[in-house]
A and B are shown apart, each in its own frame.
Chain A
């Protein structure tokens, strides 16, 4: 009983202990805020990484795409390899089929993008992806990132009337293409001219057997189509280098199958910008260009083939390993195919995020360690001050363990109070972190969280309850551990010497 009484009295009267409480409070608050911000960044980054990638990806190294033999083919009746649709049906018919929600075949190949901007020819290396917009949207990680068709139920490569007008302005003096993709129910504009009036492409890279280019809609990454610069007043401005309706030329390699194997030759096509894709991941926004799958197949001479399958699972966490195993039966690694989850595709980046977070937690926990040493120092002083009181208590019958538990309990009480205050402070800071950032920006005159660098409008936070509990338990444990030594010394004091202490 006296232990509890004295702990509480010491807490209220020993102002020196207030320093311990503040140390623990600051350590706990710092850990909570940093973990919340890192978790927010990590979660947002994972969402971004997963965003464009589907749950499971099947890919091949072959330039001409998958070659899955038709099981019905015989030497007497040879059949061509399975088409993407037939492969998809085979996947759905496999044991993994009932765990798959959607499949989308795609072609992914490197390309060079060219466009005219302010009289100059701009060139960028890109990753060209041919998709069926409907099936790609069903797999996820596509329509939610589009600027104009965000979350639209039916994604298309069609142009808006504004885009079409822009294209007409661009083509002033030249004919617009015949097969410009139009919006549904939008009447043909009388000013639209035929594709044959388009100037011919440079024959230096085109061969006679190559299909004549047509102009189709394309969806480039947001960063490809825009550029940022800082004005003299410090304001960051974003301007479009490519507007909807502007023309881009994409040059890639063919995948024609000949008797001598795959013919790798440059091929190109012209497209009109129909939309942008903005994932807020610079890795994607500055490199991806989406075009219609069937058109890319024709350009590359690989009709009825694809290089990737994107799959969405019904329950990713539960079924990912099973599905990957089953798909490897259809796409054996020995055949140059690879089946992987999105996490495996981004394994190194995700691992780096976790390592960084773990190291940061370790370093920041040293703050709590510093608080522990302050408890050690202050308790040593308090015990010295209390020598006589300890002698008195022992003369009244207090045991050594009882005296020790007074100070260990005191350390526990300080730790608990510090943790409670630190948790409240940490959660408050986390909840108001953007307002605090704005205030600090105003005070410092410089942006603490530059939006143009991080690409987020706000500082992302994610408070994990388990993390808060672990931080609190760690802080309380540290406070108790660092109070043990002074408490033990107090317990070992000889009552006579303690009573005589000056």
Chain B
């Protein structure tokens, strides 16, 4: 479904150049839950940003269902990010001025004109409320991010990522800012979404404890994929929090 071919990316600051990806190749299958692991600086987040068209590679291609997406015009990439991809960030990145419901509705606000929104607002509201119920925040719809815990904010971010029924969820260290128990709940939620809705999930993490909930694990070292294996084969410590997954 999502293919990265020979991706290269270098960050430059004045005379200093840092090569992050060095000809990376990766294929993500439809409906799979893929985790990408590696040490800090291995290029995991950069890969995720390229896959989600948040950034452009210096060389290489990214294909979605056989169609190249890394060189699309800005407007088409904006549409992809609004409707096809959903993002979950390590630090949640909810807008502080909006309550949980409005945060979840942001993709609809962005993707609709004023007139379009006015015509479909009740449908979007219903979906947003259902999603918040699903992630266990039905009683927190009118609360602002500052009134919620880290886990609740990440749940709200998950609901936001799912609003437009994206085909691919890109999660960048979704448990990185949470304690083990809460992080386990988030991964459990993602597993449910993957299983029940068939959403393809690509999750970047450096926490090996949670990769067992995924289908496949890809390890990155110095900007290239070094290992690509089933998650069951990844050695990990016992993870009682994931026992029910």
> Which A residues fall within an 8 A CB radius of B?
1-2, 4-6, 9-10, 13, 388-389, 391-400, 402, 494-496, 499
Contact = CB atoms under 8 A, between A and B. Distances in A.
A396 B81 contact: yes
Contact of B93 (A5, A10, A392): A392
Contact of B114 (A1, A10, A398): A1
Contact of B110 (A2, A495, A499): A2
Contacts of A6: 95, 97
Contacts of B78: 394, 397-399
B95 A389 contact: yes
A5 B111 CA distance: 14
Contacts of B111: 397
A9 B79 CA distance: 25
11 contacts: A1-B109, A1-B116, A1-B117, A5-B98, A392-B94, A393-B95, A396-B81, A397-B83, A397-B110, A496-B55, A499-B93
Contacts of B113: 1
Contact of A396 (B55, B74, B106): B106
Instruction: State the 8 A-B residue pairs at the shortest beta-carbon distance, nearest first.
Output: A397-B82, A2-B109, A9-B97, A1-B117, A392-B93, A397-B81, A1-B109, A397-B78
Interface residues of B, number: 32
B98 A396 contact: no
Interface in B89-116: 89, 93-98, 102, 106-107, 109-114, 116
Given A2-B109, A5-B109, A397 B95 contact: no
Nearest to B93: A392
Given A5-B102, A5-B109, A396 B87 contact: yes
Interface string B47-58: 001001011000
B139 interface: no
B75 interface: yes
A2 B74 CA distance: 19
Nearest to A385: B96
Contact of A10 (B83, B97, B107): B97
Contact of A388 (B93, B98, B110): B93
Given A1-B113, A1-B114, A495-B54, A396 B97 contact: no
B75 A399 contact: yes
Contacts of A398: 78, 110
A384 to B, nearest CB: 15
Contacts of A5: 98, 102, 109
Given A10-B97, A396-B82, A496-B49, A2 B106 contact: yes
A4 B107 CA distance: 14
Interface string B182-214: 000000000000000000000000000000000
Contacts of B74: 399-400
Interface string B155-199: 000001000000000000000000000000000000000000000
A403 B82 CA distance: 14
Nearest to B83: A397
A395 B75 contact: no
Given A1-B117, A5-B102, A13-B97, A395 B110 contact: no
A349 B208 CA distance: 88
Given A399-B78, A496-B54, A393 B49 contact: no
Contacts of B109: 1-2, 5
Most chain B beta carbons < 10 A, residue from A4, A392, A393, A395: A395
A395 B81 contact: yes
Contacts of A9: 97-98
B190 to A, nearest CB: 18
B54 A393 contact: no
Contacts of A13: 97
A376 B152 CA distance: 36
A254 to B, nearest CB: 86
Contacts of A399: 74-75, 78
B54 A392 contact: no
A5 B97 CA distance: 10
A322 B87 CA distance: 78
A499 B83 CA distance: 20
Given A388-B93, A396-B107, 19 more contacts: A1-B117, A2-B109, A4-B114, A5-B109, A6-B95, A10-B97, A393-B106, A395-B89, A396-B82, A396-B87, A396-B160, A397-B78, A397-B79, A397-B80, A397-B83, A397-B110, A397-B111, A398-B78, A399-B74
A395 B54 contact: yes
Contacts of A10: 97
Contacts of A395: 52, 54, 81, 87, 89, 93
A95 B110 CA distance: 72
Contacts of A4: 114
A5 B109 CA distance: 9
Nearest to B79: A397
Nearest to A393: B110
Contacts of B82: 396-397
B69 to A, nearest CB: 14
A400 B110 CA distance: 12
